[in-house]
Chain A
Amino acid sequence: GQSLEQPSEVTAVEGAIVQINCTYQTSGFYGLSWYQQHDGGAPTFLSYNALDGLEETGRFSSFLSRSDSYGYLLLQELQMKDSASYFCAVRDTGGYQKVTFGTGTKLQVIP
């Protein structure tokens, strides 16, 4: 099975940089995805790392290290609208499209 752990809450100041970590224990996965979910909304896809290293998409970057069983999402130039929950997720290599989400991190951006 898959287990992905994230800090439950993070608070950061508008304009700053914040890193949200995801540590995992898995039996094999294709890559690490990140999703954002605002209160009352649906998860929306942010980023995906198939390989180790850094992927950059605008203000958001994501990193994966399979040797360390670790990944993170980096948000730069924080804006108030970034206040949301963030989830890492993996898809099993066992096939059949099984996806497991991490425990989730609630980010609060303060002025």
Chain B
Amino acid sequence: DTEVTQTPKHLVMGMTNKKSLKCEQHMGHRAMYWYKQKAKKPPELMFVYSYEKLSINESVPSRFSPECPNSSLLNLHLHALQPEDSALYLCASSQVGGPTDTQYFGPGTRLTVL
């Protein structure tokens, strides 16, 4: 199984709402990632978890709060977002130090902030 799943597929939220994005993989990967992607732009790394510990936070605003409850799950908690946070949020996973450096991406959550 080389699938990364993400829920929900689409999310519309107001600036005062609290919501969460979820990501799951069962490939035994111990590195998991959150990316933000705007239209016609490359994915931008937000957070990396390695062995369930946060190893990279790319200076992401605190209104985004990641969580890695176990080696298969990754959440992104959203609170008081701004309209400019509207984007495609991608989750990915990979081996730590794998030979081919392959990341497996989920289908993404398309977020709209009103």
Instruction: Report which A residues bind B (CB closer than 8 A).
Output: 30-31, 33, 35, 41-45, 48, 50, 87, 91, 96-104, 106
Q: With A30-B101, A42-B105, A43-B90 as given contacts, are A101 and B33 in contact (CB-CB < 8 Å)? A: no
User: On chain B, which size bracket covers the interface?
Assistant: 20 to 34
Pairs across A and B, CB under 8 Å, 22 listed? A30-B101, A33-B101, A33-B103, A42-B105, A42-B106, A42-B107, A43-B43, A43-B90, A43-B103, A45-B104, A87-B43, A96-B50, A96-B56, A97-B48, A97-B55, A97-B94, A97-B96, A98-B45, A101-B43, A101-B44, A102-B42, A106-B40
Instruction: Report which B residues bind A (CB closer than 8 A).
Output: 31, 33, 40-45, 48, 50, 55-56, 90, 92, 94, 96, 99-108
Q: Check B48 against A45 for contact (C-beta < 8 Å).
A: no
